[in-house]
């Protein structure tokens, strides 16, 4: 039997399924004959135990520098012990409701109170209240709450949908893969999974057969192949054997790459190439370090803004950026200001529908129209630069006036921080993305005002060739190695080299890990590439096998 889904992050896993059910609600009309006094004593016991659980999970997350997740658990502990909530439960107990019904009723009252404020900043707290109460109800039923905190053996996790917090606080070593009925590639859970290199499928067909097997206490053994986008189960012995062989080959291939981890990235004849990792969340910096990357070449911060109804505060962003900087332990972290708009929207910012979103209101254009958003982010990035080497990268610059405005705002933020006595790196390096042809064409002018370029090959290709990279009908026209695109890349590299003063030009798009493209890019003079962490080792191996003659030949064939 086989189920299809959308692969988020490649890889394979063979393990029994662990189905995470959505929590079952309590019957709010359930009555009981038991003495309220007895139930109140029970409530006190359960409250104390659950409070302890929240706080010990929070302490663990703090150790891992997941400050924001820890704060959410601490907040839930406060909610649990809250006098208004607890008094509410007691009042319902006095009316003869069961403990589970009373907890749920009081929790509903508190959720209602928050909803009535109509304050968008508080809407996310409603889910935290519901989650807290649901855990208390399960404790009173004496049933383990359906989450991942109790895992003690390797599993492939399946669910209709999964709260990101559940994955974040689970014992990572036992989770071999993830399959979800809901979700898309850009949902929060998918981003977290990709950051952890967890083989993952989203948007799966019906998983009810697997759910049933788990419920019956006989979880199916499944084979998850995220590269193929398939989940196999009820396999014949032969199928299972084949799957195991494939998994073993995949693991050996990965193992073989690990010898490159501690090697300095250079060509076969010793030309140094700086190889960085692209990340979407601070935790993924761990992978970059694990694979021996030279730093984080691109921290895509837009994901801090997505899947939520409020904008992230300076403190919240600062905590994220500082966590990434600390994880990299002295290696560069390039933080790109948010690129919201086009295919990446958020309820926190209603940008409206557009006829032509990729040519529309996105990234730096949004930031310059709403400079408070940019200020908040720049202050957070600057403050993180006090903890290690940080570079700032502005996306979607198309004209000099935009760069001038962004730089002026940055200078403002620096002045403000100085006045407040908050420390940051005074010599922080500033760069822009080269993803709009206008910047590549005028590269020698733009480089005068910045310290580095980072070529976004995906968008540069799309904008140079006027090819929508999401449109399957014109897929064949989308080619990052088109001579026009390569000419723009070469112009950007030359402009940086000729400007001197240690100015650099790097590339952070998908082209950087394409085996066909790498010799050409190096041949054009690029010495800084940033790739997905999962491609770091194989790209390093490829580079280590290339000679100068290979690079020269690759470029000579192009007739640029």
Q: Which residues contact 455 (CB under 8 A, 6 or more apart)?
A: 433, 434, 435, 440, 489, 492, 505, 506, 507, 508, 509, 526
What binding mask, one character per residue, do residues 28-67 give for other proteins by CB under 8 A, x or -? ----------------------------------------
Report phi then psi at 28, rounded to 5: -75, -5
Q: What is the rounded CA–CA span in Å between residue 558 and residue 228?
A: 33
- 125-164 residues near other proteins, rule: CB under 8 A: 125
Query: Among candidates 317, 303, 296, which has minimal Cα distance to 380?
Result: 317
Q: How far is the CB of 448 from other proteins (least distance, A)?
A: 37
Q: How far is the CB of 419 from other proteins (least distance, A)?
A: 14
Instruction: Look at residue 297 and give its three-state secondary structure.
Output: strand
What binding mask, one character per residue, do residues 301-320 give for other proteins by CB under 8 A, x or -? ------------xxx-----
Asked whether position 258 contacts other proteins by CB under 8 A, the answer is: no
Window of 90-98, 118-126, 244-252, 320-328 that interacts with other proteins by CB under 8 A = 118-126
Of 140, 505, 508, 528, which one is the catalytic site residue? 508
Q: How far is the CB of 217 from other proteins (least distance, A)?
A: 39
Query: Among candidates 417, 482, 403, which has minimal Cα distance to 449?
Result: 403
Query: Among candidates 489, 444, 431, which has minimal Cα distance to 464?
Result: 489
Window of 37-45, 121-129, 161-169, 536-544 that interacts with other proteins by CB under 8 A = 121-129
Q: What is the DSSP letter of 64?
A: T
Q: How far is the CB of 283 from other proteins (least distance, A)?
A: 21
Q: What is the rounded CA–CA span in Å between residue 167 and residue 454?
A: 32
Query: Among candidates 178, 163, 245, which has minimal Cα distance to 210?
Result: 178
User: Which of residues 110 and 454 has its CB atom nearest to other proteins in the complex?
Assistant: 110
Asked whether position 121 contacts other proteins by CB under 8 A, the answer is: yes
Asked whether position 466 contacts other proteins by CB under 8 A, the answer is: no
249-280 CB burial, b ≥16 within 10 A, e <16 = ebeeeeeebeebeeeebbbeeeeebbbbbbbb
User: Which of residues 85 and 463 has its CB atom nearest to other proteins in the complex?
Assistant: 85
Asked whether position 85 contacts other proteins by CB under 8 A, the answer is: yes
Q: How far is the CB of 197 from other proteins (least distance, A)?
A: 31
Window of 78-86, 246-254, 382-390, 394-402 that interacts with other proteins by CB under 8 A = 78-86
User: Which of residues 347 and 483 has its CB atom nearest to other proteins in the complex?
Assistant: 347
Window of 106-114, 378-386, 444-452, 552-560 that interacts with other proteins by CB under 8 A = 106-114
Asked whether position 82 contacts other proteins by CB under 8 A, the answer is: yes
User: Which of residues 83 and 466 has its CB atom nearest to other proteins in the complex?
Assistant: 83
Instruction: Look at residue 57 and give its three-state secondary structure.
Output: helix
What binding mask, one character per residue, do residues 422-451 give for other proteins by CB under 8 A, x or -? ------------------------------
Kindly tell me which residue out of 6, 55, 75, 400 binds other proteins, with binding defined by CB under 8 A. Answer: 75
Q: Is 188 a catalytic residue?
A: yes
Q: How far is the CB of 134 from other proteins (least distance, A)?
A: 17
- 284-303 residues near other proteins, rule: CB under 8 A: none
For residue 531, what are the β-bridge partners? Answer: 277
If binding means CB under 8 A, how many residues of this protein chain bind other proteins? Answer: 21
Q: Name all contacts of 342-347 with Cβ < 8 Å and 24+ positions apart.
A: 343/186, 343/470, 344/186, 344/302, 344/306, 345/306, 346/305, 346/306, 346/307, 346/308, 347/307, 347/308, 347/309
Instruction: Look at residue 46 and give its three-state secondary structure.
Output: helix
Strand order of the sheet with strand 230-233?
2-4, 230-233, 221-225, 12-20, 155-159, 175-180, 200-202, 6-9
Report phi then psi at 345, rounded to 5: -110, 160
Tokens standing for 136? 């208390």
User: Which of residues 57 and 125 has its CB atom nearest to other proteins in the complex?
Assistant: 125
Asked whether position 497 contacts other proteins by CB under 8 A, the answer is: no
Kindly tell me which residue out of 114, 400, 428, 441 binds other proteins, with binding defined by CB under 8 A. Answer: 114
Q: Left (φ > 0), alpha (ψ -120 to 50) or beta: where does 332 sit?
A: beta
Strand ranges inside 147-255, DSSP E: 155-159, 175-180, 200-202, 221-225, 230-233
Query: Among candidates 115, 105, 58, which has minimal Cα distance to 85?
Result: 105
Contact 293/277 with Cβ under 8 angstroms? yes
Asked whether position 117 contacts other proteins by CB under 8 A, the answer is: yes
User: Which of residues 344 and 375 has its CB atom nearest to other proteins in the complex?
Assistant: 375
Q: What is the rounded CA–CA span in Å between residue 133 and residue 79?
A: 9
Kindly tell me which residue out of 28, 55, 60, 122 binds other proteins, with binding defined by CB under 8 A. Answer: 122
Asked whether position 83 contacts other proteins by CB under 8 A, the answer is: yes
Kindly tell me which residue out of 113, 171, 347, 483 binds other proteins, with binding defined by CB under 8 A. Answer: 113
Of 188, 211, 320, 528, which one is the catalytic site residue? 188
Query: Among candidates 164, 247, 235, 238, which has minimal Cα distance to 199?
Result: 247
Residues classed as catalytic = 188, 508
Q: Which residues in this chain contact other proteins in the complex, by CB under 8 A?
A: 71, 74-75, 78-79, 82-85, 110, 113-114, 116-117, 119, 121-122, 125, 313-315
């Amino acid at each position: 039997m086989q189920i299809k889904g959308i692969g988020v992050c490649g890889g394979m896993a063979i393990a029994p399924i662990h189905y995470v059910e959505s929590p079952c609600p309590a019957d709010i009309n359930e009555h009981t004959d038991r003495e309220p006094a007895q139930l109140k004593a029970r409530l006190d016991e359960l409250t104390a135990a659950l409070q302890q659980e929240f706080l010990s999970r929070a302490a663990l997350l703090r150790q891992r520098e997941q400050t924001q997740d820890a704060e959410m658990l601490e907040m839930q502990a406060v909610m649990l012990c809250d006098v208004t909530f607890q008094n509410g439960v007691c009042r319902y107990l006095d009316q003869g409701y069961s403990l589970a019904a009373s907890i749920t009723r009081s929790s509903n009252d508190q959720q209602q109170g928050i909803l009535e404020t109509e304050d968008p900043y508080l809407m996310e707290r409603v889910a935290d209240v519901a989650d807290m109460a649901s855990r208390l109800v399960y404790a009173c039923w004496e049933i383990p709450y359906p989450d991942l905190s109790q895992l003690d053996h390797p599993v492939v996790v399946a669910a209709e949908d999964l709260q990101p917090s559940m994955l974040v606080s689970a014992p990572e070593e036992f989770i071999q893969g993830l399959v979800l009925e809901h979700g898309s590639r850009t949902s929060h859970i998918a981003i977290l999974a990709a950051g952890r290199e967890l083989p993952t499928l989203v948007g799966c067909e019906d998983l009810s057969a697997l759910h049933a097997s788990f419920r019956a206490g006989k979880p199916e053994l499944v084979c998850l192949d995220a590269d193929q986008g398939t989940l196999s189960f009820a396999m014949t012995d032969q199928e299972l054997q084949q799957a195991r062989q494939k998994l073993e080959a995949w693991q050996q291939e990965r193992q073989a790459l690990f010898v490159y981890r501690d090697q300095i990235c250079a060509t076969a004849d010793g030309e140094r190439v700086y190889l960085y990792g692209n990340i979407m969340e601070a935790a993924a910096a761990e992978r970059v370090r694990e694979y021996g990357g030279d730093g984080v070449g691109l921290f895509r911060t837009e994901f801090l803004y997505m899947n939520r109804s409020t904008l992230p505060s300076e403190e919240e962003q600062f905590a994220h950026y500082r966590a990434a900087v600390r994880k990299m332990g002295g290696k560069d972290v390039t933080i790109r200001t948010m690129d919201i708009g086009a295919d990446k929207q958020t309820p926190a910012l209603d940008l409206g529908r557009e006829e032509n979103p990729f040519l529309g209101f996105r990234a730096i254009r949004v930031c310059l129209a709403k400079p408070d958003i940019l200020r908040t982010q720049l202050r957070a990035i600057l403050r993180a630069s006090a903890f290690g080497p940080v570079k700032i990268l502005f996306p979607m610059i198309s004209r000099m006036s935009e760069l001038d405005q962004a730089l002026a705002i940055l200078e403002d933020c620096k002045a403000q921080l100085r006045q407040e006595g908050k420390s940051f790196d005074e010599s922080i390096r500033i760069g822009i993305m080269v993803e709009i042809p206008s910047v590549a064409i005028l590269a020698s002018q733009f480089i005068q005002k910045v310290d580095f370029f980072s070529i976004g090959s995906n968008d540069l290709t799309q904008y140079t060739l006027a090819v929508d990279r999401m449109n399957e009908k014109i897929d064949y026209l989308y080619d990052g190695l088109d001579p026009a695109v390569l000419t723009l890349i070469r112009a950007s590299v030359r402009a940086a080299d000729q400007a001197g003063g240690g100015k650099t030009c790097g590339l952070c798009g998908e082209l950087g890990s394409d085996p066909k493209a790498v010799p050409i890019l190096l041949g054009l003079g690029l010495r800084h590439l940033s790739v997905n962490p999962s491609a770091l080792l194989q790209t390093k191996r490829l580079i280590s096998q290339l000679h100068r003659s290979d690079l020269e030949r690759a470029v000579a064939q192009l007739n640029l």
